[in-house]
A and B are shown apart, each in its own frame.
Chain A
Amino acid sequence: MRPKLLLLTLALAAMLGASSCAASQAPSPAAPRADTADAAWQSVVDAGKREGRVLVYGTGFLRGAEGAMIAQEFQRIYGIAVDNVDGAGSPSFERLRQESKAGVPTADIYLASPPWPAVVEKAGFLMSVRDKPLPLLKEPKTVWKVDPTSMSEAYLIQAPIYPNGHVVINTSVLQAADYPKSFHELATDPRYRGKIAWVDPKTTGDVAFKWTIWGYIGSALSLQDIWQIYANQQPALYADPPAEAEAVSRGEAAIAMGLSNFESAAESGAPIKVLRFADIPVVTNISALGLVKQAQHPNAALVLMNWAVSREGQEFITKTRRALSLRTDVPDKLPDALRTPELVGGTTKGPEYVLAPVHAVFSADLHSKVEVWRRLPTGVPEDEFESAINTYVADWEAANGGPQRQAIPFVE
């Protein structure tokens, strides 16, 4: 009996092993093999393969040499070549507009971060993707940290950019005992005078954006604090967030807000540490893929859009770009130095959001239409600063049906 039992056990184990092995190799619901079950989708894939290429305008996961590697991987799977014309929101939008007007070939996909997807959608250059047989539309809601279709009829949100709500410290300049614990402390404590890297509101809208996410949505950064940072803390101003991040990485300044643009420094071993203020919301910017109405390769574009948010696509993209994942079933691949922030100023993490289109457009308008932002570096009276912004916000809320402070939750 015993040898027979042993043989039976071994046979069962072998069968279980084989089935488990098969299960581990089985494609996820959004992977190409599962797609074949859906005839409508299969016809899109077949048509996309016949089209053979897809052209993307804009920035995002296809940028640079890593973007080329991602494009190669997609081509390996589907046989569809991906071409990308890099460009910030404004030049890409202008190209799209002129080419559409002239009726000449233009992009198949517009890829950008807020507010540009909403702007391009509003201009009527994108078509709905909700009525397309995309497998991702059938996936259970639990696989998403944020539903890629949650913001628009016409575009899919795709790759989370680094979350805003963290503070990056250069540890060679600032000792642990001096770590700030709140925005208010940063704005008022003389220890931080001359040590904060901040973005110049004369050159970008980044300060209005910071106030939108932490002040307007999160109620954690007051206008008074922002004014005090400029008036009293002698911040080192930089032209844009990448310059701000580089300055902190090399120790020219000690403190920066937000994780974006620190990936290169983190991977190179710069002496940086990530802090997270307790109870302060973390708001993540997410780029988006929109299907252009005059697309020459609409089916190939749909195949790329679906793959980019599928489990298979997200695994490859997050690994290649060392980024956050959009899905709960794909682990984040942030560089180690950025992965585990130290919670300071309390014991409770604030909520996680993604930036909604309404807030992206609000922030951009707030910067461009309220002139007092641009006077901050050279001096503006505090009451004039606060009054101008509060007036604009009140008018905007009145025109938009009341306060719009509700953000879109993001599963951490």
Chain B
Amino acid sequence: MSELTFQAQPSRRPWTSTGVRALIFSRWYAWMLIGVLSALVVYPLAMLFLASFRGAEQADSTTVFTLDSYQRVFNSTATYELIWTTVWLAGARVALGCLIGVFLAWLVARTDMPWRHGIEVLAWIKFFSPPLPMTVAWILLAGKTGVLNSLLAGLPFVHGPVFDVYSYWGIVFVSGLQLAAFIFLLTVPAFRSMDASLEDAGKLAGATSLGVLRRITAPLALPAILGAVLYAFIFALESFETEVMLGTPARIYVLSTQIYILAEQYPNDLAGATALSAFFLVAVAGVIVVQMRLLSGRSFTTVSGHGYASRPVALGKWRWAALALCVLYFGVSTLLPLAMLILGTFMRGWGNWSAATFTLLHWQVSLQDPRLIGALANTVVLGVLVGLGGTAVCAVASYLWVRTRFGGRRLLEFITWAPRIAPGPVLAIAFAWAYIGGLPVFRPILGTVLMLAVVLVVNSLPLGSRILAGGMHQVAYELEEAARISGLSWLTTLRRVLFPLLAPVLVTSFVVLFLLAIRNLVLIIFFYTPDSRVLSAILWEGWRGGNPERALVAGLIMMAISLVALGAALVARRRAGIASIY
């Protein structure tokens, strides 16, 4: 029998700082971790924000500090319009993504819906689809002259285009579908690790299925759902590609677009871009406060020492309807645009569809590209380094703030959020300042895949830490206590108790960070060299170089690598006896 430890009272206290763990984590090792992360994360961002206060150099070569750039940005009514559009668009997209993602996660993890594992694989495919080409695929599908409108134009009662992807709802739809997969992947582990006997108890007590879902299942998954939703919200605030491509024709502008332009244009306005980024600082701080308030005083333990059952909820006649909903979602969100991408690589010009323009040229040229083999190898190495390195760093950091009473744990939590306080283009410049022109420690590895890995591990801190912290919240402290009472050392306890229990979350973290690393563009272009060229750089070069079809080939190869990584994770899962990839 298992025991529910969910309670509306202060959670069981984490261990006090004693013994070996106190020696290791309450003292200088933990502070050293904070020091290293500060040098990697806080230092570049601090330099950036400091520069935003710097005024013009005076005649006597001194520099004065001023609030000019902040006044310039925040005295403009246009800034507040941008902020309002950005916030409500992000909110609408996250709401749609949350609705779909959490529901699908529950169906896959907690019900007897058929073909659940196939749906999981589809979610991963959706997650690692390159966002830029997928957005263009939607323009070709649902633009004014897109495939869908062209097909519908043949109907007698249709006059003019039915779909217009260049609109608020176009952005919400395309981006919301993407966020749904993201939220799905982050919440499935929480649903899966729940104890089914808790739901059984609810039913025995007379609750309906909906009541059980509302009063037991959903609250238990709250940390994971909240973590995923809040992270998705920050992600949506910073998102750039979809907004600029779909929003510009409809005169829709968001903050990230403005920041990108200020950072990239000539002459660039880094002070203005950084001042605008201050909004993200406030947003991230707000998210942390909201998360702390909502989670404080409650326990979310679902993995305890009493064993647990994960018996699925029987859907009865709704099983096939549920599957149909999932297939509809993945068909629309993934397979349809993906088909456009694949078809596009076989056309002389993407969007100019006809049998006469069919060609194998793009594949031939791409596969004969001498840079491809090196880029393939670099991409795999980079993904593995970031997956392993990011997971290790995030695991230690989240262990410290979730499961210890280490004095600097709140500071550590904030540091792991810090890379999200500046959108990609601004963050890239801050990292370039710090890692190339600043800290000499990185000079021996500049230009190598290792340097890319360091940058991307730092960039992965917010997401990796959220994934792992969610998992750690669910493991009862009594398990570690029991092991310690049985005489196991702290390290052995970690290795034999906590580590196996967290294995599904660790695998998730590895796969997510691997996938995010291999598709990153914004940071890569500041640090890659010919020796460390990766596939995303080839995709970017093709896209910017007027060869979108060849960029798509690179994108599809990236997806193939992602599928291999996913397959490897599934194999690892089976060998380790883990119930799922999560």
Contacts and interface: CB of A to CB of B under 8 A. Distances in A.
B57 interface: no
B349 A267 contact: yes
A115 B266 contact: yes
A323 to B, nearest CB: 11
Interface in B433-460: 433, 436-438, 440, 443, 446-447
A102 B545 contact: no
A364 B537 CA distance: 27
Given A99-B436, A243-B248, A364-B267, 9 more contacts: A84-B530, A86-B525, A86-B540, A90-B263, A90-B266, A104-B436, A200-B248, A250-B145, A250-B351
Nearest to A367: B265
A272 to B, nearest CB: 10
Given A268-B348, A365-B267, A378 B251 contact: yes
Given A86-B541, A88-B544, A203 B530 contact: no
20 contacts: A55-B529, A65-B369, A85-B528, A86-B525, A99-B437, A102-B436, A102-B443, A105-B446, A119-B266, A202-B248, A203-B257, A236-B249, A239-B248, A243-B248, A250-B143, A250-B352, A252-B144, A264-B549, A268-B347, A270-B352
B547 A65 contact: yes
Given A68-B370, A68-B371, A251-B145, A364 B266 contact: yes
| Nearest 8 Cβ contacts at the A-B interface | A268-B349, A83-B530, A268-B348, A98-B437, A98-B436, A63-B545, A250-B351, A64-B545
Given A64-B550, A261-B546, A104 B446 contact: yes
Of A59, A200, A264, most buried by chain B (CB within 10 Å of CB) is: A264
Nearest to B140: A250
B265 A364 contact: yes
Contacts of A268: 347-349, 352, 357
A387 to B, nearest CB: 20
B356 A269 contact: yes
B261 interface: yes
B479 interface: no
A375 to B, nearest CB: 8
Given A105-B447, A115-B266, A269 B352 contact: yes
Contacts of A65: 365-366, 368-369, 542, 547, 550
Nearest to B136: A246
Given A64-B542, A116-B266, A119-B266, A252 B143 contact: yes
B249 A202 contact: no
B132 to A, nearest CB: 12
Contact of A205 (B265, B542, B549): B265
A237 B529 CA distance: 35
Nearest to A118: B266
Interface string A166-187: 0000000000000000000000
A205 B446 CA distance: 33
B349 A83 contact: no
A193 interface: no
A265 interface: yes
Nearest to B243: A239
B209 interface: no
B264 interface: yes
Nearest to A242: B546
B140 A91 contact: no
Interface in B532-562: 533, 537, 540-542, 544-550
Contacts of A250: 140, 143, 145, 351-352
A357 B148 CA distance: 46
B58 to A, nearest CB: 21
B544 A63 contact: yes
B269 interface: yes
Interface in B329-355: 347-349, 351-352, 354
Contacts of A236: 249
Interface of B: 140, 143-145, 244-245, 248-249, 251, 253, 257-258, 261, 263-269, 347-349, 351-352, 354, 356-357, 365-366, 368-371, 428-429, 432-433, 436-438, 440, 443, 446-447, 525-526, 528-531, 533, 537, 540-542, 544-550
A281 interface: no
Interface in A340-391: 364-365, 367-368, 377-378
B562 to A, nearest CB: 22
A133 interface: no
A105 to B, nearest CB: 7
Interface of A: 55, 59, 63-65, 67-68, 72, 83-91, 94-95, 97-99, 101-102, 104-105, 115-116, 119, 200, 202-205, 236-239, 242-243, 246, 249-252, 261, 263-265, 267-270, 364-365, 367-368, 377-378
Contact of A86 (B437, B440, B446, B537): B537
Given A68-B371, A72-B370, A368-B265, A63 B349 contact: no
B525 A91 contact: yes
A87 B144 CA distance: 32
Nearest to B253: A202
Contacts of B356: 269
A264 B547 contact: yes
B261 A203 contact: yes
A269 B357 CA distance: 7
A335 to B, nearest CB: 11
Contacts of B526: 91, 94-95
Contacts of B248: 200, 202-203, 237-239, 243
B437 A59 contact: no
A64 B432 contact: no
B266 A249 contact: no
A242 B253 CA distance: 19
A243 B263 contact: no
A44 to B, nearest CB: 23
A267 B144 contact: no
A200 B528 CA distance: 31
Given A64-B550, A101-B437, A59 B351 contact: no
A90 B365 contact: no
Contacts of A263: 546
A200 to B, nearest CB: 5
Given A85-B528, A364-B266, A377-B251, A97 B437 contact: yes
Contacts of B531: 83
Contacts of B525: 86-87, 91
A88 B550 contact: no
A265 B143 CA distance: 18
Contact of A90 (B268, B371, B545, B547): B268
Nearest to A265: B349
Contacts of B365: 65
Contacts of B249: 236-238
A377 B244 CA distance: 14
Nearest to B443: A104
B542 to A, nearest CB: 5
A249 B348 CA distance: 13
B267 A368 contact: yes
Contacts of A105: 446-447
B352 A265 contact: yes
A225 to B, nearest CB: 21
Nearest to A100: B437
Contacts of A116: 266
Nearest to B258: A202
A205 B528 CA distance: 27
Contacts of A378: 251
A239 B269 CA distance: 19
Contacts of A239: 244-245, 248
Of A203, A263, A265, most buried by chain B (CB within 10 Å of CB) is: A203
B349 A98 contact: no
Of A64, A72, A263, A264, most buried by chain B (CB within 10 Å of CB) is: A64
Contacts of A377: 251
Contacts of A365: 267
Nearest to B348: A268
A267 B541 CA distance: 19
Contacts of B433: 98
Given A91-B428, A104-B443, A85 B351 contact: no
